[in-house]
A = this chain, B = another copy of it.
Amino acid sequence: MSRAFNFSAGPAALPESVLVQVRDELLEWKGERASVMEVSHRGQAFIDCAAEAERDLRELMGVPEDYAVLFLQGGASLQFSMVPMNLLSAQASADYIVTGAWSQKAVKEAKRVGGVKIAASTEGENFARIPRQEELKLDPNAAYVHYTTNNTIFGTEFHYIPDVGSVPLVADTSSDMFSGPMDVSKFGLIYAGAQKNLAPAGLTLVIVRDDLLKRTPSSLPTMLQYGVHVENKSMYNTPPTYAVYIAGLVFEWLLAQGGVKAIEKKNIAKAALLYDYLDTTEFYRAPARKIDRSRMNVRFHLHDESLDSEFLVGAKAAGMDQLKGHRAVGGMRASIYNAMPREGVEALVAFMEEFRRRHA
Chain A residues at the B interface, C-beta cutoff of 8 Å: 2-4, 6, 8-14, 16, 19-20, 22-23, 26-28, 32-35, 37-43, 73-78, 80-81, 85, 105, 108-109, 112, 193, 195, 200-203, 219-224, 236-243, 246, 319, 321-322, 327
C-alpha gap A11/B12 in the complex (Å) = 26
B221 lies within 8 A of A37 (CB): no
User: B222 to A8, Cβ gap below 8 A?
Assistant: no
15 contacts between A and B (CB under 8 A): A3-B28, A6-B33, A6-B38, A11-B39, A11-B238, A13-B38, A23-B23, A37-B201, A73-B240, A78-B221, A85-B221, A105-B222, A200-B240, A202-B203, A202-B239
Which B residues are CB-close (under 8 A) to A13?
34, 38
Contact check, B11 vs A20: say whether CB atoms are below 8 A apart. Answer: no
Chain B residues with CB under 8 Å of A34's CB are 3-4, 6, 8, 13, 321
Given contacts A11-B37, A39-B8, contact A240 B240 (CB under 8 A): yes
Supplied contacts A3-B33, A77-B237, 19 more A-B pairs, CB within 8 Å: A4-B33, A4-B34, A6-B34, A6-B38, A8-B40, A11-B241, A13-B34, A14-B37, A37-B200, A41-B201, A43-B322, A73-B78, A73-B202, A77-B236, A193-B237, A201-B238, A201-B242, A202-B240, A240-B240
Minimum distance in angstroms from A6 CB to a CB of chain B: 5
Given contacts A81-B224, A202-B240, A238-B193, contact A26 B35 (CB under 8 A): no
